[in-house]
Amino acid sequence: MPDCSDLSLGQCRPSPRSVRILWALLAVLIAAAPARAIAESAAAPPEIANEDWGKKNNFPMTKAAKESNPAGASKDLLINGAKFYVDRMTIPENQAALVTKTDQYFNNYIYGPGTSKAAEAILHQATIDRCKELLERNPPHPPVVTVNLVGVLSRLVAAKPNLTKGTPAVPLVATADPLIAVLDSAVLPVETKIRAAKALGTIGLNAVNGVPGGDLAITKRDAIVGALVRGLKSKAAEGMTVGPCWYREALVEAIGSCDLPMTLAGGSDPIDALMDRMVDRKENTKVRAAAVRATSQLSLNGSFNVPLIVHETAIVAFHLGHEYNTTLPAKRSGAFKWSAAYLYFSFKPENPQTALAPKLWGFLQVSQRPGLAAQKPLVDAAYAACKPILTTLLNPANPAVVPVVDLNTALEWLEKNAPANRKVTAKSPAIPDPKTRGAYETGPPAANVPATPAAGPMAAQQAGGG
pLDDT of residue 22: 52
Q: Residue 78 domain-assigned?
A: no
* pLDDT (tens digit per residue) in 325-344: 999 999 999 999 999 999 99
pLDDT of residue 443: 63
Q: Residue 309 domain-assigned?
A: yes
Where in the sequence is the domain holding 312, given as residue range(s)?
Answer: 296-466
Mean predicted confidence (pLDDT) in 66-87: 96
pLDDT of residue 55: 87
* H or E segment to which residue 322 belongs: helix 306-325
Mean predicted confidence (pLDDT) in 288-309: 98
Q: Residue 47 domain-assigned?
A: no
The residue with greater pLDDT, 449 or 29, is 29
Q: Residue 129 domain-assigned?
A: no
Question: Is the pLDDT score of 94 beyond 80?
Answer: yes
What residue ranges in 303-381 does DSSP mark as E strands?
Answer: none
CA 97 – CA 117 distance, rounded (Å): 28
Q: Residue 305 domain-assigned?
A: yes
The CA-atom distances, in angstroms, between 82 and each of 86, 173, 427 are 6, 19, 47
Question: Is the pLDDT score of 247 beyond 80?
Answer: yes
Q: Residue 442 domain-assigned?
A: yes
pLDDT of residue 315: 98
* pLDDT (tens digit per residue) in 137-188: 999 999 999 999 999 999 999 999 998 888 899 999 999 999 999 999 999 9
CA 58 – CA 63 distance, rounded (Å): 9
Domain count, the chain: 1
pLDDT of residue 442: 79
From the number of C-beta atoms within 10 Å of its C-beta (0-12, 13-18, 19+), residue 326 rates as middle
Q: Residue 85 domain-assigned?
A: no
Q: Residue 270 domain-assigned?
A: no
Question: Is the pLDDT score of 50 beyond 70?
Answer: yes
Cα 265 from chain centroid (whole Å): 24
* pLDDT (tens digit per residue) in 172-229: 999 999 999 999 999 999 999 999 999 999 999 999 989 999 999 999 999 999 999 9
